[in-house]
Amino acid sequence: MRNRFYRALVLAFLTAVPVEAALAADFNWMVHDRPPFRVWNKDGTVTGLFVEQAKKAFDGAGISYAFKRSTASRTQQFLKQNKQPVCSTGWFKTAERAAYALYSEPFYQGSGTGALVRKDHNEALWHKTFASLLADNTLKVGLRRGWSYGKFFDGLLKQHATPNVQHTQTNAGSAAMLMGGRFDYLLVSVDTADFLMKSVTGGVEKLTLMKMQDSPPGELRYIMCSKNVGDAFMKRLNAAIKKLQLVKPKS
C-alpha cells in the first residue's frame, strides 16, 4: 500500500512539471522586430540578417535557445537585471552597455552606412561627405531615441550638434516620417536601404540612398548576453564565431 502511495505521489509530481522544464533552453533569445535584421513572422518563426548569422554561431557552439519577443528597451532591462540567462543580437559595443552585459566577438559586419533622402531634396543631395552633411545646421536628421549609430556617427553628431528629430518609430515608420517631411534625412545601413524604400508607399520612386565618400566600413555587430550566462558559455560562443569566420579577418 505504501509503495502504491509513493508511486502515485511521484507520478503526480512528474505530471505537474511543465514540459518546458525538461526541455529548457540554455538561454532566452530576446528579439525585437526590426526588419530586415530581425523579423517575427506570422507563423511564429524568427528570421533576419542578424538572426540567421547568429544562429550559425549558437548552433556551432551547441548552445540551445528559445526565442522571446521583446523591445530594445525591455531587452536592456533584462540584461541589467541579470536574473535569467538572456542574449540579444546585433548591438554596437559601447562602454555603457559593457558595464552590465557580456559581449561576444563580432559576428556580423554590414556594408556601411548611407543617407536616405527624398530625391527632390536638393539641399541635402549636394553633400558628398557625412562630415559636410552632419555639419549643415539647416538640415535635420531623424534619430531613433536612445540609439547609438556607432563611434563615427555618434562623434559627428556630438561634434556638430546636428539638428535632429528624435523618434521611437520602426524602420518603416521612420521612412514614412522622412517622406512626410518631418526631417531631411536618415542614417541607414546600406543593407536595409532597399527594404526601407519598399516599406512605404511611393518610397522607391521618391527616396534615394546617398553613399558618402567618407563613410567608414560597416560597423561590427555583437551579441550581448546577461552576465549570468557565465564565462564558459561565452568561450564556446566566441570559439564558434571564430571557427566559422562570421566576420572575415582583415587582410
What element of type H or E holds 250?
A: none
Q: Global pTM?
A: 0.69
> Regarding the domain delimited by 2-109+219-244, which CATH topology (the fold level of the hierarchy) does it fall under?
D-Maltodextrin-Binding Protein; domain 2 (3.40.190)
156 touches 244 (CB < 8 A): no
Task: From first to last of the 251 residues of the chain, give the pLDDT tens digit.
Answer: 445 544 444 434 333 333 333 348 999 999 999 888 999 999 999 999 999 999 999 999 999 999 999 999 999 999 999 999 999 999 999 999 999 999 999 999 988 999 999 999 999 999 999 999 999 999 999 999 988 888 899 999 999 999 999 999 988 899 999 999 999 999 998 998 998 999 899 999 999 999 999 999 888 999 999 999 999 999 999 999 999 999 986 65
Give the chain's length.
251
Domain boundaries, the chain: 2-109+219-244, 113-210
Same topology, domains 2-109+219-244 and 113-210? Answer is: yes
Q: Which three cell numbers stand for residue 22?
A: 525538461
What's 113-210's CATH class?
A: alpha beta
Q: At 188, is the secondary structure helix, strand, or coil?
A: strand
The three state secondary structure string of 60-119 is HHCCCEEEEECCHHHHHHHHHHCCCCEEEEEECCCHHHHCCEEECCCCEECCCEEEEEEC
- How many whole angstroms separate alpha carbon 95 and alpha carbon 149? 14
